[in-house]
Amino acid sequence: MTVRLQTEGRVSEGTLLEIADVKTHFRTERGLVRAVDGVTFSLERGKALGIVGESGSGKTVLSRTIMGLLPSTAVLSGSVRFAGQEILGLDARQMRHLWGSEMSMVFQNPMVSLNPLMKIGKQIIEPLQIHLGMDKTNAVATAERLLRDVRIPEPEKRLGQFPHELSGGMRQRVMIAIALACGPTLLFADEPTTALDVTVQAQILELIGEQRKDRNMSVILVTHDLGVVAGHTDEIAVMYGGRLVEKAPTRELFANMKMPYTKSLMRSIPKLEDPSHTRLLTIPGRPPDLVNPPKGCRFAPRCAYAREKCVQHEPPLIVSDTSSEHFYACWYPVGSPEFEERDVEIMTNVGVGGSA
């Protein structure tokens, strides 16, 4: 049976964000690009949600849709309710009272997001003065505290430095400090550890997690890497081709993943126990054309487990037999006889093709 990922009617007191059948399309010369194509989910206050998928899956566009950071070519429909207020389609002037004070974003590349000609201190202090009305003395003291909170040593000194004088990890910490400056209730982190070494990645993710708990803040962590969200989220939503294809509590997803696409993402992660130079399993082909998406399951052309039904008919989101909070969209899910039969063949031939 087909089920909704949320209940209709009044938003519960614990629900901060409620997304209902959101579509974000873009006008192009080729036609409408269906970047986000009917996504529904909700997020509780203080919880962390990981949105996972390859480049082009729609995860970043979805987060920018919620934030209201889209170009004029965007065509929107559906509903985005933040703390009970409908915000989808509000213009920049109407959204300004939410930015910073209610929701903020840590972008992927701090060198692009930070103003290279402006000192770090000014970039933190200005939002405090504009959004919270602080005088300069209080704003400077708050900026120092924020840098200390994100574990930047010698915060007084850093306030007087420019972005290029800091390391990549330090710049990302500054971005987090700016995002946290006005005390948002929802923080978006869009690929926050890209281009950072593994040790710094772990530190940044732990830092975001600590700040979430200290501030009772909700977090949406956007990434292509299931390994990143494994220990840092309460729930995971997997996107493919603009659609939500699987959503579950984090532990449940890793224990009982149902979507072959999710399984393929998992197999592409390096494992500590694997010998050096072990060939990673890749997903063959490329993401679907979102101007003319496939007729059936959008993953079918790349799925080693696809059958005729997958090509002809799009699967609905259904509830898993292992958890009432676990939803997936697949005709032949992981664990089904059809999947297991084909999986044995694939794993037997892994040494030949190196793909799945």
Encoded tokens for 264: 């393929």
pLDDT at 201: 80
- Residue 233 within a domain: no
- In the chain, the percentage of residues whose pLDDT exceeds 90 is 52
Q: Give the count of domains, the chain.
A: 1
Instruction: Give the least confident one: 27-36, 107-116, 268-277, 313-322.
Output: 268-277
Residue 147 clears pLDDT 80, i.e. is over it: yes
Give the residue carrying structure tokens 């009970």.
Answer: 84
- Report d(CA 23, CA 61) in Å as an integer: 10
- Residue 335 within a domain: yes
- Residue 345 within a domain: yes
- Residue 265 within a domain: yes
What is the total residue count of the chain?
356
pLDDT at 130: 83
- Residue 82 within a domain: no
- Residue 87 within a domain: no
Residue 262 clears pLDDT 60, i.e. is over it: yes
What average pLDDT score do residues 60-68 get? 94
- Residue 47 within a domain: no
Residue 251 clears pLDDT 60, i.e. is over it: yes
Residue 163 clears pLDDT 50, i.e. is over it: yes
pLDDT at 53: 93
Task: Using DSSP bridges, classify how beta strands 318-319 and 327-328 pair: parallel, antiparallel or unpaired.
Answer: antiparallel
Mean pLDDT score of the chain: 87
Q: What residues make up the domain containing 267?
A: 256-272+280-356
Highest mean pLDDT among 213-217, 251-255, 272-276, 283-287: 251-255
What average pLDDT score do residues 38-57 get? 94
- Answer yes or no: pTM beyond 0.75: yes
Residue 352 clears pLDDT 70, i.e. is over it: no
pLDDT band at 272 (very low <50, low <70, confident <90, very high): low
pLDDT band at 95 (very low <50, low <70, confident <90, very high): confident
Give every CB contact of residue 41 below 8 A, 6+ residues apart in sequence: 5, 6, 19, 49, 237, 244, 247
Identify which has the larger pLDDT, 163 or 275: 163
